Amino acid sequence: MARPVPLPLLLAAVCLVAATAAGGADAAVRKTTAVGVYELRKGDFSVRVTNWGAVIMSVVLPDSRGKLADVVLGYDTVAEYVDSSTYFGALVGRVANRIAKARFVLDGKAYHLYQNDGKNTLHGGHRGFSNVTWTVKEHVGGGDAPYITLYYHSFDGEQGFPGALDVYVTYQLSGPYVLSVHMNATAVGKATPVNLAQHSYWNLGGAGSGDILGNTVQLFASRYTPVDAELIPTGQVAPVAGTPYDLRAPTPVGARVHRVTGGLSKKGATIYGFDINYAVDGDDAHALRRVAVVRDGKSGRSLELWANQPGVQFYTGNFLTADVKGKGGKAYGQYGALCLETQGFPDAVNHPNFPSVIVRPGQVYKHEMVYKFSF
């Protein structure tokens, strides 16, 4: 569980920024470290972002009847994100997902990380990239392709990781009902593992509208990485054929969610649901490939995800509980959303057979995502 930044400090920072970065739809805001909320708008399609954790706070678009709804889980205020361990909408890193026993060896040297998931490291440690203030480099809220670019400098040794890292993310409304995410990171001084992920929770019926068990999901992945009871990969890359993890054809989430295990509760009880990495099909590891399609029959909304990463973590909100209250005070509940986190393979630093996530000094890590919505 992440350690929150003291709330008074955050609230003081928020007060430095006008609500929703007001100043006109086409106004540009350049370089600020004050915490605020920034809107991107293209007709009736809009996205709100905060530079706390590079979080996507809302994604609003119509359904098949023209009714607008926010389709990502989250909170009403930035302050609520600080005191949360859900990772709603955050950009997670330096290394997303789990690292076994919070350690790895790189170039003959052992590195020990912060343990924040039992004895393992999850999403970069207790103060990962989701728990820091990013610098707003540029924000253009309207026009043909509204965007915001955020920057974070991760120092050498942060959370135990070697070398400094310069990280950028750009969120852009790049077309009609298209949200693009461009991430890049440059290693400075030392080689380091880098695996960034966008951790939005999607409910195409609208945040707080109920569970996603009726959604159909199709994953363009014929292999997956099996895990142990702590959700650490075993090192295998196994075919999905003949297993409940086979989602190559459109499949209702509810038809499979109770046939797969997604970890253990704090009391040791089995939690059912998907929380697993898939190996995305395609020969060119750096090419933009279709990853997933999600459809919500009630609203008519669909999401098609493209990315250039070797893996995608499919998570069905197994650990969401009724006491997790979000926007408007709504309780989200178990299976209240799903996540599609494109990524390098989890614990790749400890599995030489997995695609490498090591970035050498001067090299640039690039992660591209494209969300295409329809209704």
Q: Each residue of 47-64: pLDDT tens digit?
A: 999 999 999 999 999 999
pLDDT at 7 over 80: no
From 139, 158, 341, 367, the catalytic residue: 341
Judge whether 32 lies within some domain: no
Q: How many domains does the chain have?
A: 1
The pLDDT confidence band at residue 27, using thresholds 50, 70 and 90, is low
The per-residue pLDDT for 266 is 77
Strand 121-122 with 98-99, pairing:
antiparallel
Q: Please report whether residue 30 resides in a domain.
A: no
- When mean pLDDT is compared across 16-30, 197-211, 259-273, 332-346, the lowest value belongs to 16-30
Binding site members for beta-D-galactose: 97-98, 199-201, 275
Instruction: State the pLDDT confidence band at 136, using cuts at 50, 70 and 90.
Output: very high
User: Which structure tokens are listed for 145?
Assistant: 């392709």
Give a yes or no: residue 360 inside a domain.
yes
Is residue 9 situated within a structural domain?
no
Share of the chain above pLDDT 70, in %: 92
- Whether 323 is covered by a domain: the verdict is yes
Grade residue 29 by pLDDT with cuts at 50, 70 and 90: low
Q: Which residues contact 313 (CB under 8 A, 6 or more apart)?
A: 96, 97, 197, 275, 276, 277, 278, 339, 340, 341, 343, 346
Binding residue ranges: 97-98, 199-201, 275
Please answer whether residues 178 and 171 qualify as being in contact, where contact means their C-beta atoms are separated by less than 8 angstroms: no
Residue 6 lies in a domain: no
Q: Is 39 a catalytic residue?
A: no
Enter the tokens of residue 339: 């996540």
pLDDT for 35: 95
Q: What is the pLDDT of the chain when averaged over all its residues?
A: 92
- State the CATH number of the domain containing residue 212: 2.70.98.10
**Active-site residue 351, yes or no?**
no
- Kindly name the residue from 123, 139, 199, 351 that is annotated as catalytic: 199
- What residue numbers bound the domain in which 133 lies? 37-374
Token code pair at residue 64: 């098949």
Cα 368 to Cα 288: distance, rounded to the nearest angstrom = 7
In a domain, 219, yes or no: yes
Number of neighbouring beta carbons within 10 Å of residue 284: 8
26 within domain boundaries: no
